[in-house]
Structure 1
Amino acid sequence: MGARRKSRELALQALYQADMSNVSALDTLPVLCENFEVSRKALPYGEGLVGGVVANLAAIDRIIEAGSAHWRVSRMSCIDRNIIRIAVYEFNFAADVPAGVAINEAIELAKRFGSEDSPAFINGVLDAIRKTLSRQGR
């Protein structure tokens, strides 16, 4: 497994913990690193993902709401919404990750951490968001 995939897993775990405990993901990340074995190669990109999602959370959630017909972010499962947040951050705010890569990586995270329906749900939401952003010229 590549360092970036491990970074995404670390970011997902920090964002999930933050959602479940109402503590900032920036505060949960060091605790995860203290209590679990974290790859040194994965840590910098994982920290960047967590920081980027936290810094852009309101904008990311607006993008998700606009792209997910009939689904509010607050009604999505905690795992699904945070996988989607990471992917939206990567392809909308991080210049070096193509949308297709972010979507594929999100689907892989969903297969590992989500429910049986998560991969299809996440793929549908992210594809709709990608198409909307493409039409807007982003």
Structure 2
Amino acid sequence: MVLRPETRARARALQLLYAWEVQDRPPLAEVALELASGKDARRWQSGMALAERVAADVGRLDAEIARSAEHWRLERIGAVERNILRLGTLELLGQQTPPAVAIDEAVRLARWFAGPKAPAFVNGVLDALGRRLGRL
């Protein structure tokens, strides 16, 4: 399967954000060096740019997710799912990515990296957020 560059960037950003969160949020550059060691570091640049945008605005993203994830406290959401939601929320709040694409890509990440119930959960939260923002 050939993945679009944007999809690869999202997957790499998710890997960076997950490692960043479980390591108590060290500088993202350190996390990127760890993950990219022995590999072509250029491949991680687009993922790093996306991860940096999430990390810079994590408080706002988490607040938006909390408003849209009914009956779920943010800390109860698994780290993988939480970071997928952060990526999707970042894209829904921005205007560059069509809302349906942002949600579809987040659901795809959930299928690849999270448990079997995660895709439906991610879809539901991001759909609610998109509707609340008037983007859907």
**TM superposition score normalised by structure 1:** 0.88
Secondary structure at the counterpart of residue 71 of structure 2:
coil
Q: Which residue of 1 aligns with 2:11?
A: 9
Q: Which residue of 2 aligns with 1:71?
A: 72
1:48-70 C-alpha deviation (Å, 9 max, x unpaired): 21111011100000000001101
Q: Which residue of 1 aligns with 2:97?
A: 97
Which contiguous aligned blocks of 4+ residues in structure 1 show a shift greater than 6 angstroms? none
Q: 1:33 aligns with which of 27, 31, 36?
A: 36
Residues 2 and 61 (structure 1), Cα distance of their counterparts in 2 relative to 1, 3 Å cut: same
Aligned pairs, number: 132
Q: Which residue of 2 aligns with 1:55?
A: 56
Secondary structure at the counterpart of residue 23 of structure 1:
coil
TM-fit CA distance, 1:38: 5.1
Q: What is the CA RMSD across the aligned residues, in angstroms? A: 1.7
Q: Is the 8 A contact 1:25 1:50 kept in 2?
A: no
Bigger drift between 112-121 and 13-22 goes to: 13-22
Residues 106 and 92 (structure 1), Cα distance of their counterparts in 2 relative to 1, 3 Å cut: same
Q: Supply the AA of the counterpart residue of 2:33.
A: P
Residues 120 and 7 (structure 1), Cα distance of their counterparts in 2 relative to 1, 3 Å cut: same
Q: Which residue of 1 aligns with 2:88?
A: 87
Q: Is the 8 A contact 2:32 2:44 kept in 1?
A: no
Q: Supply the AA of the counterpart residue of 1:54.
A: A
**TM superposition score normalised by structure 2:** 0.89
Q: Which 5+ residue runs of structure 1 have no aligned equivalent?
A: none
Q: Which 5+ residue runs of structure 2 have no aligned equivalent?
A: none
1:62-120 C-alpha deviation (Å, 9 max, x unpaired): 00000110111111011110001001111213x31111111000011111101000000
Secondary structure at the counterpart of residue 24 of structure 1:
coil
Q: Which residue of 2 aligns with 1:21?
A: 23
